[in-house]
Structure 1
Amino acid sequence: MEKINIFQLINATEHLCNLNIIQFSQKFSYPLGISPILVLAELKNKGPRKQSELAEVVGHTKGAITNISNKLVKLALVERLQEEEDRRTVRLKITDKGLDALQEAQKIGNEIYIDLFDSFSETELNEYLRLQYKLIEHSQQQK
């Protein structure tokens, strides 16, 4: 058997992710990718947040979060709230429409997940998850 190199591993991971993103995008009724969905989920789970906080949590630059935020505001999925004490401080808050969009995204994500991992036995799925968590832990220790 040929020795596997890092580029093959990265390519396989990217290929699988791209297939899932394409499938998700075709089913989702909003013109959004995965990062805006992560922002909506963060706002739902933690309440109104500053863009700088979202950038840190989601792992994007402040500029990228600004673009995502502008798109979400334009689609009325989030609203900007200015703080009374300091009008310069703006927080993003998910709207009811944003909650509906997030719910739709989660439903589609679950369908894709079920279809994808249907090919694994329960033992294989547990081993896959164990290996994923092992890689994440190792990667975090390397920082």
Structure 2
Amino acid sequence: MSNTNNIFNLVHMIGQITNENIVRFTNEFSYPIGISTIIVLREINNRGPVKHTDLAESLGYSKSSITKIANKLVSLDLIQRTYDKSDKRAVYLIITDKGIAALKESIALGDKIYNELYNILTEDELSSYIEIQKKLLAKISASKRLSP
């Protein structure tokens, strides 16, 4: 098999695994939000009050994506916006108690799905798989920084 076919097959397999995990998570999670939104919610929880722009930068999302996700999270009462008293233009996002509960549920569900899928791998295989993914992501990141 040529390298061209390998890349398409590899991307297709990775896409199938990712899509299956996303669909399963979305179907089983009790809130109408997906993985990207959970990642934002987790980051808000981990960082405390945080600005939209700082979230976009740390997660590699566009500012408009963060705004859309934040609007969704606010509408579900999972986060709230707070304003700096000395600078009304500075808006911070903070997780609510309901958001913390949703995050805990997402972590439990994520652990369940992860354990059910990856339990066929030995610890060494799983460790290697994770290291390979990290290596590939680092290569992609480095390539993006180098391109004009």
The equivalent residue for 1:28 is 29
Deviation of the 1:122 alpha carbon: 2.0
User: Secondary structure of 2:120's match?
Assistant: coil
Match of 2:93 in 1: 92
- 1:79 and 2:48 matched: no
Structure 2 length-normalised TM: 0.90
Give the whole-Å Cα distance in 2 for the aligned partners of 1:10 and 1:67.
28
1:101 correspondence with 2:98? no
Number of residues of Structure 1 aligned to a counterpart in Structure 2:
142
Q: Does 1:130 align with 2:131?
A: yes
- Corresponding letter in the other structure for 2:86: E
Residue deviations 1:100-138, cap 9 Å, x none? 000000000000110111111222212212212221232
1:37 aligns with 2:38: yes
Shift of 1:77: 0.3
Using the size of structure 1 for normalisation, the TM-score is 0.93
| Mapped contact 1:35–1:58 kept (Cα < 8 A) | no
Give the letter for the 1:69 counterpart.
A
Whole-angstrom CA distance in 2 between matches of 1:141 and 1:88:
34
Letter in 1 for 2:124: T
Residues in 1 aligned to 2:70 and 2:23: alpha-carbon distance in whole angstroms: 22
State the distance in 2 between where 1:137 and 1:50 align. 26
Displaced runs of 4+ in structure 1, greater than 4 A? none
Residue identity opposite 2:24 in structure 1:
Q
Distance 1:8 1:53 in 2: 36
**Which has the larger displacement, 28-37 or 56-65?**
56-65
In structure 2, how many angstroms separate the alpha carbons of the residues matched to 1:67 and 1:111? 28
Task: Return 103-112 or 123-132, whichever deviates more.
Answer: 123-132
Structure 2 stretches lacking a partner, 5+ long: none
| 1:24-48 Cα distance to aligned partner (Å, 9 max, x none) | 0111000001111111111111101
Gaps of 5+ in 1: none
Q: Secondary structure at the match of 1:89?
A: strand
